[in-house]
């Protein structure tokens, strides 16, 4: 089955251009969504992903319509590959049923992996350098005098937790953690 996915970012935008392109590509069913690209949870996309079976084909108008980021796009294409589903982007001329289309996504996956490795190496090097300078990382410890004042205020039962937080600057989590 050929399935389409169309998305625009706001309620004011129109899906018709994408729908026309997906119908021309032979889509049997089109999942439509009006939701920002930054949202991870996309109900129509989730529904589409659940119903896909081996041999199906997912068609989008452009790559940016289906994914939030390069990493997300690669994860989706890997999911499609695991399920035996082909992926097509009409405007970007990408079709994973062809050798060139599969090659393109393998190159993208390799670049994404390289980027993750470089970030990891850089982070480890920065942490090591900081340790050599005597820094351990993490948040600074809460001022003990303020913590004791917050606990005293809490135990007096004269103040709400919000009043204590505002007066001392000590978070609710710290207060409750110290009470245990």
29-34/57-60 β-pairing: unpaired
Beta carbons of 170 and 147 less than 8 angstroms apart: yes
* Region of residue 29 (phi > 0: left; psi between -120 and 50: alpha; otherwise: beta): beta
- Is 110 marked active-site? no
The runs of H, that is alpha helices, within 29-159 are 43-51, 70-83, 99-132, 144-156
* Given 9, 89, 160, 171, the catalytic residue: 9
Q: What is the spatial distance between Cα 165 and Cα 171, in angstroms, rounded to a whole number?
A: 6
Catalytic residues: 9
């Amino acid at each position: 089955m050929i399935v389409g996915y169309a998305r625009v970012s706001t309620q004011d935008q129109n899906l018709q251009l994408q729908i026309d392109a997906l119908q021309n590509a032979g889509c049997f069913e089109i999942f439509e969504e009006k939701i920002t690209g930054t949202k991870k949870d996309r109900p129509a996309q989730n529904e589409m992903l659940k119903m896909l079976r081996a041999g199906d084909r997912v068609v989008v108008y452009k790559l940016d319509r289906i994914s939030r980021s390069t990493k997300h796009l690669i994860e989706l294409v890997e999911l499609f590959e695991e399920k035996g589903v082909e992926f097509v982007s009409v405007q970007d001329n990408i079709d994973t049923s062809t050798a060139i289309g599969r090659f393109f996504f393998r190159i993208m996956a390799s670049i994404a992996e390289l980027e993750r490795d470089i970030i990891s190496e850089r982070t480890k090097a920065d942490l090591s350098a900081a340790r050599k300078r005597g820094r351990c990382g993490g948040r600074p410890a809460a001022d003990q005098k303020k913590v004791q004042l917050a606990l005293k205020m809490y135990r007096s039962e004269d103040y709400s937790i919000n009043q204590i937080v505002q007066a001392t600057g000590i978070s609710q989590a710290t207060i409750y953690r110290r009470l245990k």
